[in-house]
Copies of this chain bind each other. A is one copy, B any other.
Amino acid sequence: MVSDKFDPGKNALDKNPLASDGLNPDPEKLLQEDPINIEVLKRLTGQSILSVNQFDKELVLEICKFAALLESTEIAKSHPLDGKIIVTAFFEASTRTRLSFESAVLRLDGKIISISDGKSTGQAKGESLLDIGEMFNAYGDCVVMRHTETSAIEEIMPNLRVPLINAGNGSGEHPTQSLADWFAILKWKPQLKGVLKPEEKIHLGILGTPGSMRAVNSFLRMSLLFKDDIKQISIISEMADPLGEELNVKAEASGIKIHITNDINEVVEDLDVIYMNSIAFLGDSYKSLDSRFKLDENTKLKEDAVVLHPLARLDELDPILDDTHHNLYFTQAHGAVFIRQALFISVLNRFNKLPKDKIPTA
């Protein structure tokens, strides 16, 4: 039972709920002397967001600047998503991602109808995704979908007449997560918007197997867009060929040096950005990790290195790092809500609902 050793007396309204003792860079850094170019954002009008392949560096930057604006301004009062219904269709359940999208919509005064688990639906009964797409046309203005099958996106798109945001399709992609990831990295180092000097280019470490893990896949794909700023990408994976054919081709075309290793300690002292993952989860089984795939108090991190993790985490990322300046992962999670808001406003073309002085309406 709750004992008197708690202090429920902390006044939880005074503290900035977004504060943590980790790194929490000011989003306004992204906007200094760099106003948002709405013409670039308008490329997303009526678009589905399915893959990082739809993005170039310019579009990534504008979305992140728009998210920074939403994070640093009181937008809600202008009710940008008023009258819009978003369907959160999570055939593969996920608390974190679903609540992130739902919070994003509700704070903009949109509305939600939700499938939080695929087990008790028409899909469970064998109904085709084609028919489910036709159903969504009738019920909402935009669909956010997560599905266990990689082919789910291909299957639903033909009948869907409202925009679809891919929240994860099997071992395919997870594009909005990558935008959240790079939003955090850009807040940490806004100079990445331009071209870094050779001696400043970053060494990026990615733990995981891009060829089979969708968040890692999308993150690597998006990182290649920053080829002018990255000196090396080290992939830490147990697999011999963690990239797969398509990503190998793209990586080679980028000109960035790619290094594969199965031990993070081999490279960690040189890493500037470390993208961690719960690789222990393959399907529903969990296997124990060893120090080759973990970050903890013993890890020899570079002085200013920052760590990302899409969360949920198990023991690959020790909580002892939470209160250090290496912790960029809480900022990453918090920023995801604003990235998703930026996408909804852009896709549903609701720029004219924003305060006029905040964003130029072309």
Contacts and interface: CB of A to CB of B under 8 A. Distances in A.
Given A173-B1, A311-B135, A157 B6 contact: yes
A37 to B, nearest CB: 20
A17 B161 contact: yes
Interface in A306-362: 311-314, 319, 330, 333-334, 336-337, 348-349
Contacts of A333: 134-135, 138
A227 to B, nearest CB: 19
A220 to B, nearest CB: 12
A61 B139 CA distance: 24
Of A85, A102, A217, which is in contact with the most chain B CB atoms at under 10 Å from its CB? A102
Question: Shortest 4 CB-CB distances between A and B: which pairs?
Answer: A93-B120, A11-B46, A127-B312, A13-B46
B246 A125 contact: no
Interface in A136-154: 137-141, 150, 153-154
B8 A138 contact: no
A166 B15 contact: no
Contact of A93 (B113, B121, B157, B311): B121
A49 interface: yes
A95 interface: yes
Interface string A62-85: 000000000000001000000101
A127 B96 CA distance: 11
A299 interface: no
Contacts of A163: 12-13
A18 B138 contact: yes
Contact of A53 (B2, B162, B313): B2
A115 interface: yes
Q: Copy number in this complex? A: 3
A323 to B, nearest CB: 11
Contacts of A76: 83
A107 B172 CA distance: 33
Contact of A137 (B17, B54, B159): B17
A281 B94 CA distance: 29
Interface in A1-29: 1-2, 4, 6, 8-20
Contacts of A53: 2, 4
A116 B138 CA distance: 20
A117 B95 CA distance: 10
A32 B305 CA distance: 64
A123 interface: yes
Given A48-B12, A53-B2, A95 B121 contact: yes
A51 interface: yes
Of A8, A169, A313, which is in contact with the most chain B CB atoms at under 10 Å from its CB? A8
A254 interface: no
Of A15, A138, A312, which is in contact with the most chain B CB atoms at under 10 Å from its CB? A138
Contacts of A235: none
